[in-house]
Amino acid sequence: MLITRIETCPLFGTIHPDRAIVSALGRHVVGNYLLVKVHDDAGRVGLGEASVTSVWSGETQGGARILIEEVLAPLLIGVDPHDSEWIGRRLDQAAYGNSFAKAALEMALLDLQGQALGLPLHKLLGGSRPGRADVRLKFVIGARDPDDAARLAFSMVEQGWTALKVKIGRHEHPRWDLARLEAVRTAVGPDVWLSVDANGGYTVAQALWIAPHLERLGVTLFEQPTRRGDHLAMAAVRRRSGVPIMADESLFTPQDALDLIRHEAADVFSVYPGKHGGVRPTQAIARLAEAAGIPCTIGSNLEREVATAAMAHVAAATPNIQCETFPGDLIGPLYFTESLTQPGLSYQADRLLVPQEPGLGVKL
């Protein structure tokens, strides 16, 4: 079983107007993606996907395509896709960073492995525990006007969602965020699980201003309150916040994880393949967190069906990804006006069923 050819295909996706994501990072109305197809000598095709956002990882669609076609793909022709550990090290030696591009290649290789063995990806990753056939999720409410946010939140709860995340950190003063949160909590009642995500948009002072209000409103998680890379700032918020802190933008590499642990800057880690450069690095960080007593959840960069399927397998197969307690973000396919795969992924209210077909379990 050898790799014979690697293709890339740029994709664009339009987000439903009523679900546009507005956050401290800007307004997200169109998604840029790169689909990767890895062919083997038996005629199989493995699929991978890079959700490239320059403001998030520094990657672009064009840059990821050039990197894969001109630098990474030539290293893999004639290689057995089962040699995934060696391949991962080889890709890291060939190019620094570019985690989403590398993750797309690794997804496609793992898809090929699963197809060849007749096993779904989560079985290759160690299997899922009994009863872990789906992943609990939360729906994301953008930094909208309070009335709009409340209407959308109420609508999603009416459709069966039991957990929500509200974007904050976009305005000069957090009182505007507080108005949105109070409107959402009033609309959905006290029993809906609620978290907030500042996307690094606050200073320490702003985060500490809103923290007691979050506690009063029954918010369960305060995600990335301060800017990425400043672990001391996030640790300062964590020490004085009554709401647990989750690291997202601050956590890309295993070294980031070690730094966050050493600075005691987070109570929960948000992990996922695109951010960490692949499925296996994601599991490695989750195990590192587990050793430090830090639970994880599965995050997202608004992926389409291919990457979302891979993330569902990771969540199912990784014990320290605790989505029943901290619901995940695998909701990208629900935001777009069209589906990338046929059939699409199977959502049941606020749960995503883990595909059971070989490999990723999705087809274009």
pLDDT tens profile 67-122: 999 999 999 999 999 998 899 999 999 999 999 999 999 999 999 999 999 999 99
What is the Cα–Cα distance from 269 to 286, expressed in whole angstroms? 8
Is residue 17 pLDDT above 90, yes or no? Answer: no
Is the N-terminal amide bond of 343 cis, ω within 30° of 0? yes
pLDDT score, position 19: 65
Contact 2, 80 (CB under 8 A): yes
What local confidence, expressed as pLDDT, does residue 21 receive?
66
Say how far apart CA 309 and CA 287 lie, in whole Å. 21
pLDDT above 80: residue 16: no
Q: To which H or E segment does residue 302 belong?
A: none
Listed range (46-55, 109-118, 237-246) with the worst mean pLDDT: 46-55
Ramachandran sector of residue 146 (left: φ over 0; alpha: ψ -120 to 50; beta: rest): alpha
Q: Which two tokens stand for residue 219?
A: 């918010």
What is the predicted pLDDT for the residue at 343? 77
Average pLDDT score over residue span 134-146: 94
**DSSP conformation class of 279:** H
The answer on pLDDT for 28 being more than 60 is: no
Mean pLDDT of 340-348: 87
Mean pLDDT, rounded, of the chain: 93
Distances (CA, A) of 38 to 69, 111, 286, 357: 12, 9, 27, 18
pLDDT at 25 over 70: no
SS3 196: strand
**Pick the residue with more confidence: 344 or 50?**
50
- The better pLDDT of the pair 173, 286 is held by 286
Domains of the chain and any CATH numbers: 3-118 (3.30.390.10), 123-353 (3.20.20.120)
pTM: 0.94
| Lowest model confidence (mean pLDDT) among 130-139, 159-168, 183-192 | 130-139
Instruction: Look at residue 313 in the predicted model and tell me its pLDDT.
Output: 97
- Calculate the alpha carbon distances from 201 to 51, 137, 168 in Å: 22, 24, 8
